[in-house]
Each structure stands twice: as structure tokens, then as C-alpha cells.
Amino acid sequence: MSQYERPNIAAMQGYASGEQPQDGRSIKLNTNENPYPPSPKVAQALADFATEQLRIYPQPDARALRQAVANHHGLAIENVVITHAGDEALRLAVTTFVSPEGVVASTEPTYSLYPVLTQIQGAQMVTQALEADWSLPADFAASMNQADAQLTCVVNPHAPSGHFTSIDALRAVAEELTGVLLVDEAYVDFVDEQGPQDATELVRDLDNVLILRTFSKGYSLAGLRLGYLLGAPSLIKPILEKTRDSYNVDAISQVIGLASIEDQAYAQQTWRTVRGDRELLAADLRQLGFTVADSQTNFLLAQVPEGANAEALYQGLKTKGILVRYFATPRLKDSLRITVGTGEQNQRLAALLTELLAG
């Protein structure tokens, strides 16, 4: 530890990301990547990219991509800021709206990056436990107001449970909150297609809602680091003009992002496949005695059968080359979070779990 480090930084733990072996030998069902490659249009965009362009600074606000995102959601360009993945979007929301010694709020459990960003800011994290079925408590907004939350982050569909909260319920929360509501829609692309799936209508109607989107999962671009925030112009403007790094999106990411969002047919086909395989995998896991929450994401939270040990199963799978995620927290310690892979990967997982449970 350095004497120069700020006390809040010295006292905190960093974010613990899932294992990222780069050897291509493991079956990675641990960090919720899309099992299918990016659109062929991405390879084309990369092949067409002239490296001489890298000599000069990129378009500062990623204008063409920003406009394409606005069009995609039926919003204005002023409602959009492009970010260096969801991580930067979350950090910027904290930087812009949360004072040091202010309060960030979320549910328990939630995405484990939120408390890390809160500690870096020197702010406090306040959480309220989700109901047994992973839904928001009825007094969620009231509790967050009581705690003086400047920013309340809700992952929807929820991680790590996969639970989907209706847009009407989120609207009620946003209307009651005295601070900003950030709806983290990292997994929204995998929600079943009936009904309105996303909260973009809230951006049109309310001045305190930010929606986070990422290209990492839905567009198979976790390696690129690209995402965006949607919100009222009054929320987007200080992020766009003040708190983000001036050239936060590189020139290659801008063209790849554009190629990806324009190829909706390809992306949507991967989402349909993942949704179908999710239900098959859930059925297989239930067959093996797991309790599996209904999921509207590309992962399943699977509580291990009576008598089995989740951490031992995680280790057993790892030994056999399959990575899943295990969280050693009171509410999650009996569960595995399993990313939906290709059909073949899911079958291999189910077969190995059968062996391990019999063992």
C-alpha cells in the first residue's frame, strides 16, 4: 500500500471479475457472453477500416453511432451518450450524480460492480433485499428516498436471478424516487418477445431515468468495450460535455458498433436461439434436482439439489474444463450462475453435472 493512496481506495477491495482464460480451451459459462460470434458485418467493417484513420483523433461524440442508437430506440440524439462499455456508463452516472459521502442504492443481491464504484467515489452503498421471488419490495422507492439515494441502480432483467420487473413497476419506482433511477438493461436483449421489454418509454416521460445498454452481450462484443446511456437531455448533457473522457470511444469501436446495430436480423437470431436453449437447459437442470428461477436473460441461477454443495460443483466443473460462476454470499452460496451456451455446451454441462451429482 502506498502512503499516497486515498484512504477510501486503500480500504476497499477491487472488483472481482469472472475468470477470463484466453486459451480457448475452456467452456466459458461464467461471464454471460453470447455463445455466437458477432455479425459478419463486423468482420466486413473491420476489413474495410483504413488504419491511416487511426492517426487522427476519433469523432469526439461518436456522432454516427449516436444517431443510429437514437434511431433504433425512436429517441433524439440528445437522449444518447456512447460509452466505453457499461462499466464506463455506470462510473459516469456515479461521477455525475453522486457526491462523495452521498448515497448509491440498489437491491440485494445486485451487480457486484456497483459497491466498488460507490467506494471509489467515497460514497455509501445502501441496499434493500429483494423478495423471495426476486421481485422488488413494495416500499423500495420509499426506502431509497429515506436513505437520500442520489442514484438508484436496478438491473432489469435482474442479475444474478434473471427475474424481469415490468416497465410499469419501474415507472412507479422512478416517479416516487427523489434521485436518479438507472435501469441497467445489460441483458434486455434476451427477454421474451411479448410485450414492451425495455424502459425507453420512461426516458421520454421522466427526467430522472437513465437506461444502460451494452453491446457486450446482445451483440457478442464483450471484447470491444462498447455501450451507451439513454436519458433525458438534462441527464445526458453533463455526461456528454463534462464528465466523460473527451474521446471516450475509439474510431474502430465506432464503426463496429454501427455495423452491429444495423444488423438487427443477425443479432435477433442469436437472441432467439439463446432464449430457446435457456428453456431447454432450465428443464435439464430441474430434471437433475436444481431449483431454477425463471430467467429472462442469457443465464440461469440454479440452486443446487438438497445435499449437494454448490462450491464443490463449481470446482468439479472447473476441473473438467467448464467455468460457471459461484458467489460465496449468504443468499447465493447454494447456487451456481450458469451462462446459456451453445446447445452442445449446455448438454455437456448437464452431462457433467449428472456425473458430479452421482459421484
Contacts of 184 (CB under 8 A, 6+ apart): 86, 90, 111, 153, 154, 155, 156, 212
> Residue 214: what residue type?
T
The cell 477491495 sits on which residue? 13
Q: What angle do CA 113, 136, 180 make, to 5 degrees?
A: 60
Contacts of 168 (CB under 8 A, 6+ apart): none
Nearer to a copy of itself, 73 or 225 (CB): 225
Nearer to a copy of itself, 250 or 334 (CB): 250
The cell 463449481 sits on which residue? 314
Nearer to a copy of itself, 188 or 224 (CB): 224
218: Cα separation from own chain's centroid = 10
Nearer to a copy of itself, 49 or 135 (CB): 49
CB of 297 to a copy of itself, least distance (A): 17
Nearer to a copy of itself, 54 or 351 (CB): 54
CB of 340 to a copy of itself, least distance (A): 14
Q: Which three cell numbers stand for residue 278?
A: 435457456
CB of 7 to a copy of itself, least distance (A): 8
Nearer to a copy of itself, 33 or 284 (CB): 33
CB of 24 to a copy of itself, least distance (A): 9
Nearer to a copy of itself, 162 or 231 (CB): 231
Rg (CA), the chain: 20
CB of 196 to a copy of itself, least distance (A): 25
Q: Which three cell numbers stand for residue 64?
A: 454516427
> Residue 297: what residue type?
T
In angstroms, the first-to-last Cα distance of the chain is 45
Q: Which three cell numbers stand for residue 345?
A: 455446451
Alpha-carbon distances of 249 from 76, 84, 167, 257, 258, rounded to whole Å? 20, 6, 30, 10, 12
CB of 107 to a copy of itself, least distance (A): 20
Phi/psi at 28 (5° precision): -90, 100
CB of 219 to a copy of itself, least distance (A): 9
